[in-house]
Amino acid sequence: MAMGPLEVFVFPSVIVETRLEAPGTTAAGDLRVPAIIGTSSEEIRVSNFEIVRGSSNISDNLIMEEDESSKFTGANKNFTVNYYPIVDGSGQGKVSNDPHAVIVTVNAVSVAVNSVNGLTGEVVLQRLPPAGAEIRANYYMKRRDTYLEDEDLSDQADATNKTFKVKNARIVKGDNSGANATDTDIGKTVVILYDPTPSTPGTPSTPGDEVERTVPIFKVTVDDVEATVTHIVGGSGTFSLQDAPALGAVVKVWYFTNTWQDTYDVLPASEVNRLIKVGLSQDTNDFSIGNDCVLGVDPLTGARNAIHWGHSATQEQGIYTAGSTPLNDNVVVGLIDTYVYGRIATPVTPATTAPLVDADNNVLSDGAGKVFTLPSVPCDGAGKGQPTENPSDIIAYVGATWAAAKLAEPVTVLSISGQNITLKTAPSHVDQEKVYVSYY
């Protein structure tokens, strides 16, 4: 029995059908066109989706609906995903060559994968996709800590110095969690994927060409002899040795760092229209969208599906005035920490006897205090707003004026604690000396 204009009953759904009829005396003729009106949405809301911020030692990173269409010419069955190595999704970063590790769709229909090279990220399909097809891939990848070798710190050796700072922001554990290394990591080893091809000292290995290798989490050599490390402060990238290397000694360090902190994370869609709430757990709103994080493009793919955190920058071309120079790949966009010169540091123990201030109303020290407060928290200069505890990141001068102070030799900064610095010697209260600092 027919129901309404249709021959059989159908459940409410979106119906797309084309019927052709020879032109008749009227525009419609006898052609029956069913029209079912209902609600629809061009936006799909995804709620309570859990992502890993940065990298994790217990979770792999899920990549969904990655657009691979531009990698096909109509004559090839193979392509390379944007993020590799491809892993099995177990959370341990285990590289997978299983064809089931990658789900590929051609025009929204799943197709068979013939082979996967997890290390290189190459995927081969069983059948040749038609030219112009929309091809997307879903898979897990692993954001890893970066292992650096032979980084030269010889310029910090002066026969008395035992505390050194690496050239990157942090020293991490090497377990892909991005966690800061501590004293408990001294002497330990981890297994990593390592590029055996010789490379420039101090540069990371190349993903895709690796083999497994056991390496020390942290290692220091002085004149090619392994040195005893007594202390590591991973957050500031500093470490201490048992003995001070001689002036002119060759000091080299092996360590892990993590470049994913406060950068971006890929969201579970090929294109994202907007962020509604971002929180630490389900149904919470702990971060301010537009301040703590923003929706932007994936720097690797150009797709608008990345959430950017903290000190992070991307570039994308928008609307521009005709005749002007558009933002394109030749324009380099990046973040820098601002370097300031000759800022006055305030004494923690101000003068109690006259003069209390100088002619410009700057507070003077009591003549014995060596601790001073900076106008702002000092950074390491890497461009991510990372606070520093490395005294070598600050240059301090002492004098009655900035003009006089900068003509003298810098004074020794012993330590940094938050916004406070400790000097080796105290400025003279009698001479109305002040502390001028230059730093990021």
Note the pLDDT tens digit of each residue in 311-332.
766 666 666 677 776 665 555 5
What's the CA angle centered on 202, arms 196 and 205, to 5 degrees? Answer: 35
Q: Phi and psi for 192 in degrees, rounded to 5?
A: -130, 165
Question: In angstroms, what is the C-alpha Rg of the chain?
Answer: 30
- The pLDDT value recorded for residue 334 is 64
Give the start-to-end residue ranges of the domains of the chain: 61-141, 151-257, 340-439
Where does residue 381 fall: left (phi above 0), alpha (psi -120 to 50 degrees), or beta otherwise?
Answer: left
Residue 183 near residue 231 (C-beta atoms within 8 A) = yes
Sign of the CA dihedral with 283 first, then 287, 293, and 298 last: negative
pLDDT band at 250 (very low <50, low <70, confident <90, very high): very high
**Which secondary-structure segment (H or E) carries 404?**
helix 402-405
Report whether the peptide linkage leading into residue 378 is cis, meaning its omega lies within 30 degrees of zero. Answer: no
Q: What is the mean pLDDT of residues 2-29?
A: 49
Q: Phi and psi for 31 in degrees, rounded to 5?
A: -70, 125
Listed as own residue / partner, the contacts of 385-388 with beta carbons closer than 8 Å and 24 or more positions apart are 385/262, 385/310, 385/311, 385/337, 386/169, 386/170, 387/236, 387/418, 388/236, 388/416, 388/440
pLDDT of 1 > 50? The answer is no
Identity of the residue numbered 69: S
Distance CA 92, CA 177 (A): 11
pTM, rounded to two decimals: 0.58
Residue 51 near residue 64 (C-beta atoms within 8 A) = no
pLDDT of 223 > 90? The answer is yes
Where does residue 157 fall: left (phi above 0), alpha (psi -120 to 50 degrees), or beta otherwise?
Answer: beta
pLDDT of 240 > 90? The answer is yes
pLDDT band at 91 (very low <50, low <70, confident <90, very high): confident
Listed as own residue / partner, the contacts of 204-212 with beta carbons closer than 8 Å and 24 or more positions apart are 204/146, 204/147, 204/148, 205/147, 207/84, 207/85, 207/119, 208/84, 208/85, 208/119, 208/120, 208/121, 209/119, 209/120, 210/85, 210/119
Report whether the peptide linkage leading into residue 85 is cis, meaning its omega lies within 30 degrees of zero. Answer: yes
pLDDT of 45 > 70? The answer is yes
Q: Phi and psi for 204 in degrees, rounded to 5?
A: -75, 160
Distance CA 229, CA 206 (A): 28
Q: Which residue has the higher pLDDT, 231 or 296?
A: 231
